[in-house]
């Protein structure tokens, strides 16, 4: 694994957990974790369960005892690490979004296609696909339960950046993150919407906004009355990404969509929401109530017609049979465990895991079109 921050911890938990709850065709061995700070990466290796630590990701590429590289670093490093790993014959799991630009993502997709011809596979980590309720939503759409898909509404609402005195992080630096709310959380709803309805977005009209232009660099808050104020002498750095984005979209075979992503929605902690309306029914999901899917069937008799709130914990539901008894819900970490399971099974079967780098490139093209539209007074922008 390259990287050991928040995503590194989530991925490490998944690698440790997956073989204990699923009968995997190959046994993951957590061989090495890499980072730039020698002491910090050694501590991470001990805490997260890795056998050894390396200072620098290139050592992972060089080591003959490593078969797969899991990339959990900021977006500006994804392309270099992934391409080097694939060319060295190592499978790759790369966190989302795939890259910081379409050009980088295209290079990664080409490298992945060439590697796949040699039996070496790459997957992008859109882990929300592995939420049982969302996987059930996709199943119902594929079964035709919604009829002809007409409309999609997708939101991702958080509030962790709403304090204007919150410190600068790499996620607020465009050179490292690529974009702000758009790529960080908007990418998730773009991928989920396209995956569930089985259609790609072909064009967008967008609006983006940065609410707080500067933030404290040191992050050392000086509390004044408990309001999180900072000293006037605290150096501040420029925020170079979006804080919020809204866009309309059209899908390949006709449906229209409305998307919103923000990290300034006070009171919303992780409200990843998706609603799909068809000619025969509707689906509604909210990640803050992640073990439930709401299903509306227009074919029900009028006196009982309405949304049914389904608790997605039955053995018949995706992934659920490997965990707890019915009614005992799953959490955020389980999506990453399911991601590991699907990846290992695909590699063992010699088939392409999904989402592929090509799938993730399509998301990257949507992100790029949104930025282009927002920079051109919300002009309708077709995807390249």
Domain containing residue 174: CATH number? 3.30.360.10
Predicted TM-score of the model (pTM): 0.95
**Helices 102-116 and 78-87: angle between axes, nearest 10 degrees:** 20
- As a whole number of angstroms, the distance between CA 94 and CA 127 comes to 11
**Nearest 5 degrees, angle CA 115-CA 121-CA 123?**
125
Residues 6+ apart with CB under 8 A from 47: none
Using the structure block, give the residue that is written with the tokens 């304090």: 163
Give the per-residue pLDDT at 113: 98
Percent of the chain beyond pLDDT 70? 96
Number of residues assigned to the chain: 384
55 and 112 share a domain? yes
pLDDT at 224: 29
Closest CA to 76 of 173, 168, 178, 147: 178
Domain end, chosen from 110, 128, 146, is at 128
Tokens 């059209």 sit at which residue? 250
Full residue range of the structural domain in which residue 141 is found: 131-329+357-374
212 and 81 share one domain: no
Q: Let me know if residue 211 belongs to a domain.
A: yes
Q: How many domains does the chain divide into?
A: 2
- Cα–chain-centroid distance for residue 379? 27
CATH at residue 23: 3.40.50.720
User: Which residues in the chain come in under a pLDDT of 50?
Assistant: 219-228
Q: For 105-144, what is each residue's pLDDT tens digit?
A: 999 999 999 999 999 999 999 999 999 999 999 999 999 9
Residue written as token pair 């980072």: 35
Confirm whether 338 is domain-assigned.
Answer: no
Question: How many C-alpha atoms does 161 have within 13 Å on its Cβ side?
Answer: 27
Q: Report CA-CA distances (Å) from 266 to 186, 262, 263, 288, 290.
A: 17, 10, 8, 14, 20
- The pLDDT, as a whole number, for residue 325 is 97
How far is residue 370's CA from residue 372's CA, in Å, rounded to a whole number? 5
CA 262 to chain centre: 15
Pairing of strands 236-238, 244-251: unpaired
Q: What is the pLDDT of residue 150?
A: 98
Q: Are 78 and 70 in contact (CB under 8 A)?
A: no
Q: Return the pLDDT at 232.
A: 63
Of 128, 143, 170, which residue sits at a domain end?
A: 128
Residue 240 lies in a domain: yes
On whether both 212 and 361 belong to a single domain, the answer is yes
In a domain, 121, yes or no: yes
**Co-location of 367 and 222 in the same domain:** yes
CA separation for the pair 47, 165 (Å, rounded): 31
Question: Residue 174: what pLDDT?
Answer: 94
- Residue 186 falls inside a structural domain: yes
Looking at the fold, whether 99 and 181 belong to one and the same domain comes out as no
- In the chain, count of helices (H) and strands (E)? 11, 16
Residue 93 belongs to some domain of the structure: yes
Same domain, yes or no, for 83 and 213? no
Domain membership flag for residue 369: yes
Q: Based on the domain organization, do 41 and 70 belong to the same domain?
A: yes
Same domain, 55 and 167: no
Are 66 and 137 contained in the same domain? no
Beta bridge partners of residue 10, listed in sequence order: none
Same domain, 14 and 152: no
In a shared domain, residues 31 and 90: yes
Whether residue 121 is found in the same domain as residue 140: no
Looking at residue 255, its pLDDT comes to 98
Buried b (16+ CB within 10 A) or exposed e, 105-117: bbbbbebbeebbe
- Domain boundary among the residues 128, 143, 169 is at 128
Task: Check residue 222 and give its pLDDT.
Answer: 32
Question: What phi and psi values does residue 330 have, to the nearest 5 degrees?
Answer: -100, 170
List residues bridging with 261 in a β-sheet: 156, 245
Asked whether residue 139 is assigned to any structural domain, the reply reads yes
In terms of Cβ atoms closer than 10 Å to its own Cβ (0-12, 13-18, 19+), residue 349 is: exposed
């Amino acid at each position: 694994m390259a990287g050991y921050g928040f995503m590194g911890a989530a991925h490490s938990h998944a690698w440790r957990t997956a073989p204990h709850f699923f009968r995997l065709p190959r046994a993951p061995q957590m061989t090495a974790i890499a980072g730039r700070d020698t002491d910090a990466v050694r501590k991470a290796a001990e805490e997260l369960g890795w056998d050894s630590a390396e200072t620098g990701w290139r050592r992972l590429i060089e080591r003959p005892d490593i078969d797969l590289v899991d990339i959990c670093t900021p977006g500006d490093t994804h392309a270099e690490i992934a391409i080097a790993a694939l060319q060295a014959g190592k499978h790759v799991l790369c966190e989302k979004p795939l890259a910081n630009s379409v050009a980088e993502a295209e290079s990664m997709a080409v490298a992945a296609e060439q590697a796949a011809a040699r039996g070496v596979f790459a997957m992008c980590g859109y882990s929300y696909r592995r939420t049982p309720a969302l996987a059930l939503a996709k199943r119902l759409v594929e079964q035709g339960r919604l009829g002809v898909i007409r409309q999609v509404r997708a939101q991702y609402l958080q509030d962790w950046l709403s304090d204007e005195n919150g410190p600068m992080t790499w996620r607020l630096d465009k050179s490292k993150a690529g974009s702000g709310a758009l790529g960080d959380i908007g990418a998730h709803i773009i991928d989920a919407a396209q995956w569930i309805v089985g259609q790609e977005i072909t064009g967008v009209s967008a609006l983006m906004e940065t609410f707080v232009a500067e933030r404290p660099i040191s992050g050392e808050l000086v509390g004044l009355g408990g309001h999180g104020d900072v000293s006037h002498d605290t150096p501040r750095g420029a925020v170079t990404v979006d804080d919020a984005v809204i866009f309309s979209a059209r899908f390949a075979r006709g449906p229209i969509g409305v998307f919103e992503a923000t990290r300034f929605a006070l009171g919303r902690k992780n409200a990843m929401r998706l609603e799909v309306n068809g000619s025969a029914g509707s689906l509604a999901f909210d990640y803050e109530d992640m073990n439930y899917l709401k299903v509306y069937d227009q074919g029900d008799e009028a006196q009982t017609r309405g949304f049914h709130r389904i608790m997605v914990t039955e053995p018949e539901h995706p992934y659920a049979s490997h965990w707890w008894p019915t009614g005992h819900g799953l959490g955020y970490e389980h999506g990453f465990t399911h991601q590991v399971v699907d990846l290992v099974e695909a590699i063992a079967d010699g088939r392409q895991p999904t989402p592929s780098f090509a799938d993730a490139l399509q998301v990257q093209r949507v992100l790029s079109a949104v930025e282009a539209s927002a920079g051109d007074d919300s002009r309708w922008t077709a995807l390249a």
